[in-house]
Structure 1
Amino acid sequence: MPQIDLEDVEVVRLDDRFSRQARSLLYHSYKDEPTFKYLLDAHRSGYKQRIRATIRELIKLHFSRGEFVLGVIHKKEERLIGIAFFSDLELKMDISNQFLWRCKMLLTAGFEGTRRYVEYFNDVQDSLPVKNHRMVSLIGIHPDFQKQGLGKKLLDSIHELTDKDNNSIGLFLDTGNNKYLNFYQSLGYEVFAELPLGPQKEYILYRPNPNYQEAAA
């Protein structure tokens, strides 16, 4: 595993010019994750093609919706090695109403994969409170560079931005991989909800905003 000096990386805001690198990074980040393996049926032939297509269409959708995107860039190599998409309550949506996205998903991920993903996405959205909040929709550190403090560096930058919004109750994210729970909890997250996802659980995690002012909200 290549060793990273944290002085050699920086967290910057990204635009859709980084879409190609983002697709590759998130494919490697998510291909072995329990959530995507269930949603896209990893046991059936063509899983790699389905997950690549799903990530491609999700990235297009999230960029088109104007989500805030932060990336961890290796300054010397000019390489994207970490990324996170996050948005606020105003961008909360029912993904099943995204007609063009659904058409592309049906053609690439198939009917069952699309059905499972839409159901999962909407279940997560429905579990969230109606009060103003922010949500991490996609996040990943390339597997070659994990366990070197980059995930913490990326999330610390997100927290610095989101904590400035005193109208927001905090930040939410979800994961189906319980091996990450201790990491997230060490950064101030708590389990907000647990959702059934096939034979497993999806954890909705919440980090309260220390600067939230209910009167102002």
Structure 2
Amino acid sequence: MPLIALDDVAVVRLDDRFNRQARSLLYHSYKDEPTFKYLLDAQRPGYKQRIRATIRELIGLHMDRGEFIFGVVHKADDRLLGVAFFSDLQLKMDISKQLFWRLKMILTAGFESTRRFVDYFNDVQESLPSKNHRMVSLIGIHPDFQKQGLGKLLLESIHAITDQDENSIGLFLDTGNNRYLDFYQSLSYEVFTELPLGQLKEFVLYRPNPNYIDRTA
């Protein structure tokens, strides 16, 4: 595993120039994750093509919607080592109503995988509170650079921004991989709810905003 010094990287807001790198990075980050293996039926031939297509369409959808995209970039060569997409309540959506996105997904990932993904996505969205909040929708550190502090650096940079919004109750994300729970809990996340996902559990995690002001009290 290549070693990298934190002084050699920077967390920056990304634009479309990093689209290809983000697609490759998230493919490597998610291809072995239980959630994606279930949603896209890893036992059926063509799984790699389905996950690449799903990530490509998700990134395109999030970019079209103007979500924040932050990345950990190597300063010397602009190589993307980690990426996170996050949005606020105003961008919360019912993905089943994104007709053009669904059509492209069906053509590339297949009907059953698209149905599973839409159901999963909407179940997560519906589990969240109606109060103003932020949501991390996609996040990954390239497997070659994990366990070197880059994920913590990326999330702490996001926290520094989201905590400035005193009207937001906090930040949510979800994972089907319970081996990440200790990492997230070390960054003040707590389990908000658990959702069934086939034979799996999807954990919806919540990090309260320490600067939130409840103006309804």
TM-score bracket, shorter-length normalisation:
over 0.9
Determine helix, strand or coil for the equivalent of 2:207. strand
Tell me the equivalent position of 1:16: 16
Tell me the equivalent position of 1:193: 193
Tell me the equivalent position of 1:91: 91
Kindly indicate whether the alpha-carbon contact (under 8 Å) linking 1:175 and 1:204 is maintained by their aligned counterparts in 2: yes
Identity level (%): 78
Q: Shift of the alpha carbon at 1:216? A: 7.4
Q: Deviations over 1:169-210 (max 9, x none)?
A: 000000000000000000000000000000000000000000
CA RMSD of aligned residues (A): 0.9
Tell me the equivalent position of 1:175: 175
Tell me the equivalent position of 2:184: 184
Does the alignment pair 1:112 with 2:112? yes
Instruction: Measure, in 1, the Cα distance between the counterparts of 2:133 and 2:99.
Output: 26
Q: Counterpart of 1:213 in structure 2: which amino acid?
A: I
Tell me the equivalent position of 1:154: 154
Instruction: Measure, in 2, the Cα distance between the counterparts of 1:7 and 1:182.
Output: 25
Instruction: Measure, in 2, the Cα distance between the counterparts of 1:204 and 1:78.
Output: 32
What TM-score, normalized by structure 2, do the two folds share? 0.99
Q: Deviations over 1:54-95 (max 9, x none)?
A: 000000000000000100001113200100000000000000
Q: Counterpart of 2:74 in structure 1: which amino acid?
A: H
Q: Counterpart of 1:115 in structure 2: which amino acid?
A: R
Q: Counterpart of 2:104 in structure 1: which amino acid?
A: K
Instruction: Measure, in 1, the Cα distance between the counterparts of 2:191 and 2:65.
Output: 27
Instruction: Measure, in 2, the Cα distance between the counterparts of 1:10 and 1:100.
Output: 35
Determine helix, strand or coil for the equivalent of 1:180. helix
Aligned residues: 217
Q: Counterpart of 1:84 in structure 2: which amino acid?
A: A
Tell me the equivalent position of 2:50: 50
Unaligned runs of 5+ residues in structure 2 are: none
Q: Counterpart of 2:89 in structure 1: which amino acid?
A: L
Q: Shift of the alpha carbon at 1:16? A: 1.5
Does the alignment pair 1:131 with 2:135? no
Q: Counterpart of 2:182 in structure 1: which amino acid?
A: N
List, as ranges, runs of 4+ consecutive aligned residues in structure 1 with deviation greater than 6 Å: none
Determine helix, strand or coil for the equivalent of 1:167. coil
What TM-score, normalized by structure 1, do the two folds share? 0.99
Kindly indicate whether the alpha-carbon contact (under 8 Å) linking 1:167 and 1:216 is maintained by their aligned counterparts in 2: no
Tell me the equivalent position of 1:65: 65
Q: Deviations over 1:92-134 (max 9, x none)?
A: 0000000110000000100000000000000000000000000
Unaligned runs of 5+ residues in structure 1 are: none
